[in-house]
Amino acid sequence: MAAQETVDHKYVYDFAEGNKELKDLLGGKGANLAEMTNLGLPVPPGFTITTEACKAYLATGREPDGLAEQIEAHLESLEREMGRRLGDPDDPLLVSVRSGAKFSMPGMMETVLNVGLNDRSVVGLSAQAGGNDRFAWDSYRRLIQMFGKTVCEVPGEEFEHALDEVKRAKGTKNDLDLDADDLRGLVDAYKKIFAKHTGREFPQEPREQLDLAIRAVFESWNAERAVLYRRQERIPADLGTAVNVVSMVFGNLGPDSGTGVAFTRDPASGAQGIYGDYLANAQGEDVVAGIRNTVPLQELEQLDKKSYDELLDIMARLEGHYRDLCDIEFTIERGKLWMLQTRVGKRTAAAAFVIAGQLVDEGLIDLDEALHRVNGAQLAQLMFPRFRLDHDFQPVAKGIGASPGAASGKVVFTSARAVELAAEGESVILVRRETNPDDLNGMIAAQGILTSRGGKTSHAAVVARGMGKTCVSGADELEVDVPAKRFTVGGHTVVEGDVVSIDGTTGKVYLGEVPVMPSEVVQYFEGSLDPEHVDNALVRAVHRIMTHADARRRLLVRTNADTGADAARARRFGAEGIGLCRTEHMFLGDRRELVERLILARTDDERESALAALLPLQRADFEEIFREMDGLPVTVRLIDPPLHEFLPPLEQLAVNVAVAQERGEDVAQEEALLAAVRRMHEENPMLGLRGVRLGLVIPGLFAMQVRAIAEAAVTVTRAGAVARPEIMVPLVGAVQELETVRAEAEKIIAEVVGDSGVEVLIGTMIEVPRAALTAGQIAEAAQFFSFGTNDLTQMGWGFSRDDVEGAFFWRYLELGIFGISPFESIDREGVGRLVRIAAEEGRAARPELKLGVCGEHGGDPDSVHFFHEVGLDYVSCSPFRVPVARLEAGRASVETDGSDSR
């Protein structure tokens, strides 16, 4: 019975049976081929083998029952439809076997073209192509090459070497100069290479070719580079890939044939227009590989007006249908246009905003949908600085601005070297003629990528855009010599280790380091660019989407700021208060001496006089911040770090004392300090005498801070502004701790504020797991909770933050124990659960309890969504992340409302 069920399981779908919603099952490529088929677009017939078949294969190491029969049945109907049979010596049907996972993984997995050719059918193919021997032998040699490389792991260089050899003998650099005899000879050479490496002859049986190719695609899901790419892009490892079997159409039949790729809008800037590359007399992979230089798509109009018009028409239809930027692959076979692929195209951060804005204008989507289509990571990228070029920096070359940003660094020529230098903390620019999937590690490590070949759609360009990494491609003035580790350009020779700068927006390449300037988006946030008047599509789009995000979001966004200047900047960025004002910097600099006096105090008088000296300094700091945040809440955290952090390090003191003693100087003060440092030494300072514990142990310390806060608030309020201080007690684990601090604080506040009208709230951080678990009790004594998710993560996992990231996180990431560091993005199940419990129990005990978060997670997109779901009132993050948090809070509202009106 079970066997019967597996046999009945449907593993193969004709293109006419699928649609674009079936990406999980058919992969993106298959689902979209089906969608285009059903739209009536010219797609070569074919079928898709599901991701489920792939998963079954990967789990058991063999094809699931029934798959072979289903393929047979679909193949037969394809043969009937095409009027040709696979392997027919006189008129063979040829197919491509193409991988296609749910998420696009450019160049990561395998494709084999021209499956079905063998020694006999190559002759038939030639006859069918009107005696075009050259074409037939070219197709055959491509099959052996791709099949050998991807199915049988024959080293690709061997084939390339043999091809170079033939070209050299012929005295040409161009594949197109090779004639049928050359290519026939090449087929022989390829077969020998194949036999040498596999120990068998190239398979002549077409069905065997097909089955082996399908299996190779299944297996490519777990190829090392695919695994690496998935980890980088956070694509789940268990999705599997679908396999598309597509009847071949030929772009290499002569000058009236060709192949190309196109975008319906510029994927770099979002501008409307026609963007693409076309290559006459070529098969698909030639364009994508960037091997030969392509012409801009516009030139197709001269070459083949009918196909060009049809293509533009189809592109417009696809945009209207997908309501988004589409990226397509097409082939023209003797004047007949065929669509081979489409998908919603990857784009730069700038293009994402600009296109979303345009699509709203065009009535294709509404503002909620526009908001849904951009994200905080993209916005963050747009806030990066760019090159400042008012100096006399002259570019030495201009390539294609493939992925924006400004990057400077030392030149390296190999992926391995890039990884090495990056590990030493260097910025590097990876320079290649073109990249291939094996360069992925180096691309991840590099600050930027520079290639001398390939267009906007080359491997380097596509992958860099996906990573948000600066890339200039196709800078063809560069003569790159990878083995010699150098490149030359316009009379300059650049060797490994020299510094270059690349501008991924303009495509320009500079020698040396170019200084940078702030982004326009930042200028807009700072208020120095008026979106209503500036002629900048990006600024206008950002303004429009941010305005909508602000209208939609429920979460407030505050900032972490310790100085008036930070507060002012964050306010311009849209901060609605300060969620965390740390007071420890107020104990640094020339105030260290006072802190030393405080720590060394032997009597109450000594301690009180040190505190009295600190009071006016703190008060002045708070006054400045309250003035900047006029009308907005400011959460001030009482001093948190262990006090010995304010003293000189033990080793240094010990040396000073020894040297001074040697010289016979008076060392009483130094010795006292040294003794204090020894006394206060802690094995685990993060779990030691800090936070509320300090306040309970050192009389008058918190009282001084509370007084400074209250007095500053009164002064600022009397001067006409509105100060709204919120005093936050760190590291509370038990309600009794908070109650003790609170009793003392309330007395001081009552005395200071008098009838000034100032209202001071008292609350606590929730950062010790015990606090989260007893939140119901703690809420009785707290007017607000602020989740300190850094410490909560540290103590929740038992990770010493300062140590673990370098010590073993890489291994945890490698093993997939977590997909991302829990310090970067909140661990929803564990630490997040603590947050949820505390929020629920805290609110149950005190419904008006204000809830916020002030850890680094407050500016992390995914974490912001989590805090929205949990129902916090606000997130607080560094000033620069404020716009990101505003945007993500808006997106979170739109998504949970379910009103993204698709």
**Does the annotation count 854 as an active-site position?**
yes
Using the minimum distance from each CB to ligand ADP, give the nearer residue, 337 or 428.
337
Walk across the sheet containing 12-14 and list its strands: 12-14, 46-49, 241-247, 95-101, 111-115
List 786's β-bridge partners, or say none: 765, 852
Residue 379 CB, nearest approach to ligand ADP (Å)? 29
Q: Of 326, 471, 854, 877, which one is the catalytic site residue?
A: 854
Comparing CA positions, the residue from 330, 284, 340 lying closest to residue 113 is 284
Comparing CA positions, the residue from 130, 147, 177, 140 lying closest to residue 333 is 130
Contact (Cβ atoms closer than 8 angstroms) between residue 489 and residue 397: yes
Q: Give the 3-state secondary structure of residue 581.
A: strand
Using the minimum distance from each CB to Mg ion, give the nearer residue, 96 or 269.
96
* Span from 326-334, 430-438, 521-529, 885-893 in contact with Mg ion (CB under 5 A): 326-334
Q: Which partner in ligand ADP, Mg ion, none is near 791 (CB below 5 to 8 A by kind)?
A: Mg ion
Residues found near ligand ADP in the complex (CB under 6 A):
44, 96, 98, 107, 111, 113, 246, 248-249, 284-285, 288, 329, 331, 340-341
Measured between alpha carbons, how far is residue 727 from residues 424, 578, 634, 639, 738 in Å?
42, 12, 8, 11, 12
Residue 275 CB, nearest approach to ligand ADP (Å)? 16
Dihedral, 242, 244, 245, 251 alpha carbons, nearest 10? -150
# chain residues binding Mg ion, by CB under 5 A: 5
Provide the token pair at 251. 């772009």
Provide the token pair at 267. 């994927």
Q: Which partner in Mg ion, ligand ADP, none is near 113 (CB below 5 to 8 A by kind)?
A: ligand ADP
Provide the token pair at 36. 């285009």
Q: Residue with the closest Cβ to ligand ADP? A: 284
Q: Which partner in ligand ADP, Mg ion, none is near 729 (CB below 5 to 8 A by kind)?
A: none
Which 479-538 positions form the footprint of Mg ion (CB under 5 A)?
Answer: none
Residue 248 CB, nearest approach to ligand ADP (Å)? 4
Using the minimum distance from each CB to ligand ADP, give the nearer residue, 327 or 862.
327
Q: Which partner in Mg ion, ligand ADP, none is near 249 (CB below 5 to 8 A by kind)?
A: ligand ADP
Q: Which partner in ligand ADP, Mg ion, none is near 20 (CB below 5 to 8 A by kind)?
A: none
Contact (Cβ atoms closer than 8 angstroms) between residue 901 and residue 369: yes
Residues found in the chain: 902
Using the minimum distance from each CB to ligand ADP, give the nearer residue, 244 or 789.
244
x/- letters, 784..823, toward Mg ion (CB under 5 A): ----x--x--------------------------------
Residue 434 CB, nearest approach to ligand ADP (Å)? 14
Using the minimum distance from each CB to ligand ADP, give the nearer residue, 248 or 704.
248
Q: How many CB atoms lie within 10 A of CB 137?
A: 25
Using the minimum distance from each CB to ligand ADP, give the nearer residue, 44 or 401.
44
CA atoms of 429 and 408, how far apart (whole Å): 7
Q: How many CB atoms lie within 10 A of CB 551?
A: 11
Residue 444 CB, nearest approach to ligand ADP (Å)? 20
Measured between alpha carbons, how far is residue 84 from residues 75, 88, 116 in Å?
11, 7, 11
Q: Which partner in ligand ADP, Mg ion, none is near 350 (CB below 5 to 8 A by kind)?
A: none
Query: Which secondary structure element, helix H or strand E, spans residue 231, and what is its range?
Result: helix 224-233
492, with CB counted inside 10 A (0-12, 13-18, 19+), is exposed
Q: Which partner in Mg ion, ligand ADP, none is near 248 (CB below 5 to 8 A by kind)?
A: ligand ADP
Q: Which partner in Mg ion, ligand ADP, none is near 885 (CB below 5 to 8 A by kind)?
A: none
CA atoms of 854 and 841, how far apart (whole Å): 19
Q: Which partner in Mg ion, ligand ADP, none is near 284 (CB below 5 to 8 A by kind)?
A: ligand ADP
How is residue 384 annotated by DSSP? S
* Span from 322-330, 437-445, 577-585, 861-869 in contact with Mg ion (CB under 5 A): 322-330
**Does the annotation count 644 as an active-site position?**
no
* Span from 16-24, 321-329, 560-568, 777-785 in contact with Mg ion (CB under 5 A): 321-329
Using the minimum distance from each CB to ligand ADP, give the nearer residue, 51 or 111.
111
Residue 571 CB, nearest approach to ligand ADP (Å)? 47
CA atoms of 856 and 865, how far apart (whole Å): 14
Q: Does 341 bind Mg ion (CB under 5 A)?
A: yes
Q: Which partner in ligand ADP, Mg ion, none is near 107 (CB below 5 to 8 A by kind)?
A: ligand ADP
Using the minimum distance from each CB to ligand ADP, give the nearer residue, 281 or 331.
331
x/- letters, 698..727, toward Mg ion (CB under 5 A): ------------------------------
Outline where 93-132 has alpha helix (H): 121-128
Residue 67 CB, nearest approach to ligand ADP (Å)? 20
Using the minimum distance from each CB to ligand ADP, give the nearer residue, 224 or 361.
224
Using the minimum distance from each CB to ligand ADP, give the nearer residue, 297 or 752.
297
Comparing CA positions, the residue from 243, 226, 221, 219 lying closest to residue 26 is 243
Comparing CA positions, the residue from 770, 785, 866 lying closest to residue 826 is 866
814, with CB counted inside 10 A (0-12, 13-18, 19+), is exposed
CA atoms of 306 and 318, how far apart (whole Å): 18
x/- letters, 737..776, toward Mg ion (CB under 5 A): ------------------------------x---------
Contact (Cβ atoms closer than 8 angstroms) between residue 731 and residue 767: yes
CA atoms of 777 and 40, how far apart (whole Å): 66
CA atoms of 504 and 492, how far apart (whole Å): 21
Using the minimum distance from each CB to ligand ADP, give the nearer residue, 436 or 656.
436
Contact (Cβ atoms closer than 8 angstroms) between residue 598 and residue 607: yes
Q: Residue with the closest Cβ to Mg ion? A: 791
Q: Which partner in Mg ion, ligand ADP, none is near 550 (CB below 5 to 8 A by kind)?
A: none
Residue 354 CB, nearest approach to ligand ADP (Å)? 25
Measured between alpha carbons, how far is residue 129 from residues 123, 124, 285, 514, 546 in Å?
10, 9, 21, 55, 57
Residue 763 CB, nearest approach to ligand ADP (Å)? 54
Q: Of 372, 459, 548, 865, which one is the catalytic site residue?
A: 459
CA angle 524, 344, 440 (to 5 degrees): 85
The residues carrying an active-site annotation are 459, 854
Residues that bind Mg ion (CB under 5 A): 329, 341, 767, 788, 791
